[in-house]
A and B are shown apart, each in its own frame.
Chain A
Amino acid sequence: MTPETDISVQQTWSLLEAVTDPEVPVLSVLDLGIVRDVQVKGREAHIVITPTYSGCPAMDVISMNIRLQLLQHGFEKVIISQVLSPAWTTDWMSEAGKEKLKAYGIAPPNPTQQVCHTKLFADNEAVQCPHCNSWNTRRISEFGSTACKALYQCNDCREPFDYFKCH
């Protein structure tokens, strides 16, 4: 891309494909579904993102990385704004992203919104072990190493693993 030609919206989306989540580096911001809108006016880009969780500490780094990526590829001004509504859901995660997560050893989120209830001691969601594909797994803790993950263990291969919980 030469600085003399204008950058299209489509090209801008492609540039964002290279910006990854610092905590789950196999996922791009597009896989995560957190880029909600891209607008381009000449050399100026306006990117709208939405946080996964309110307190996700990766969001600041993600914003910075989006800015750097676009500035390095011909943009002169990058405006990033945040929207909260509609609230992010794991249903926005791409199928490719779910495959990448699994290959990375993190169980991808189940498609349905099974978590949005307050029923106590409900049966655990059936979560597939990313290592041996067994469905015979159990939840160790609803809260894992980051806000978006829960901690599981496989009853067959005995490996503990993270589950990107549906949200």
Chain B
Amino acid sequence: MNQQTIFDYTIHLADNALVIAQRNSEWCGHGPVLEQDIALTNISLDLLGQARSLYQYAASIRNKMNGNDQATEDTLAYLRDAREFRNCLLMELPNGDWGQTILRQFFFSVYQYNLYQYLQRSSDNTLSAIAEKSLKEVTYHQRWSSEWVIRLGDGTEESHRRMQNAVHELWMFTGELTTPAGYELEAARENIGVDPASLKAAWSQTIAEVFQEATLDVPATGWMQTGGKEGRHTEHLGYILAEMQFLQRTYPDSKW
């Protein structure tokens, strides 16, 4: 197996988790009610933990390829530029209102839930262990975000309108989740990773079920934005990195 492929695949999973964790954590102290502010912050923490495990593994692969020990979880998170990030565009979008943040988490949690179920059976022992561990956490995330999509969608006139607006804002970014990049196909061929196209039916079915209960319309499938998995991002990622990486860029190797 090509080590570069495992590295790219692992980095993609890590970047998804890190970027959405960073976005969600912007709500810390700003949530509409205390309990749900804490819930979203807890979810961020779980995702950050998953990202750490994945970056640690990616760093070990890179070091093996380069024959040194220069890469760490921190250099991967803090010292790469936007073009090197492999997260889906959905993760980096601004939070919008609370409903839009919940909806993005819902789209992602349903995807992660399906992905990790298969990744548990990866022939790569580290990835399968991370998937097994993360799946328990993601089960909570999926349930929590589904219930909130339903509460808000089938709530007041205003919450319904806002949720339906959020669906229209985010829908064109959902296709990328299940559109495979080259390294995903290669990883799937070697039984290291999962071809995300194979998750599409299960993902769509859960979305349709929850939307029906939430009285939200599933948009007709139109043009889907892609590019994030190959490093072509929206303008928003640069701003996230500017904030997240500032300290390490300005004061290299500073410690907490």
Q: Does A120 contact B (CB under 8 A)?
A: yes
Name the CB-closest residue of B to A55.
B49
- The distance from the CB of A56 to the nearest CB of chain B, in whole angstroms, is 7
- The distance from the CB of B209 to the nearest CB of chain A, in whole angstroms, is 9
The answer to whether B140 touches A121, judged by C-beta atoms less than 8 angstroms apart, is: no
Hey, which chain B residues are within 8 Å of A88, CB to CB?
Answer: 133
Name the CB-closest residue of B to A84.
B129
Interface of B is mostly: helix
Q: Contacting chain A: which of B71-79, B96-104, B143-151, B193-201?
A: B143-151
Q: Does A104 contact B (CB under 8 A)?
A: no
Name the CB-closest residue of A to B139.
A116
The answer to whether B42 touches A143, judged by C-beta atoms less than 8 angstroms apart, is: yes
The size bracket of the interface on A is: 20 to 34
Name the CB-closest residue of A to B54.
A54
Name the CB-closest residue of B to A148.
B42
Q: Does A112 contact B (CB under 8 A)?
A: no
Q: Does A140 contact B (CB under 8 A)?
A: yes
**How many residues of chain B are within 8 Å of chain A by beta carbon?**
35
The answer to whether A55 touches B46, judged by C-beta atoms less than 8 angstroms apart, is: yes
The answer to whether A87 touches B50, judged by C-beta atoms less than 8 angstroms apart, is: no
Most B CB contacts (10 A, CB to CB) among A86, A141, A145 go to: A141
Partner of A84, one of B47, B113, B130: B130
The answer to whether B129 touches A53, judged by C-beta atoms less than 8 angstroms apart, is: no
Give residues of chain B (124-183) contacting chain A, Cβ–Cβ below 8 Å.
Answer: 125, 128-130, 132-137, 139-140, 142-144, 146-147, 150
Interface positions of B (Cβ within 8 A of A): 35-36, 38-39, 42-43, 45-50, 52-53, 113, 125, 128-130, 132-137, 139-140, 142-144, 146-147, 150, 210, 213
Interface positions of A (Cβ within 8 A of B): 51, 53-57, 83-88, 115-121, 140-145, 147, 151, 167
Chain A to chain B contacts (Cβ below 8 Å), 19 pairs: A51-B49, A54-B48, A55-B48, A56-B49, A83-B129, A84-B129, A85-B125, A85-B128, A86-B132, A87-B136, A116-B139, A117-B143, A118-B146, A120-B146, A141-B35, A143-B35, A143-B39, A144-B38, A145-B38
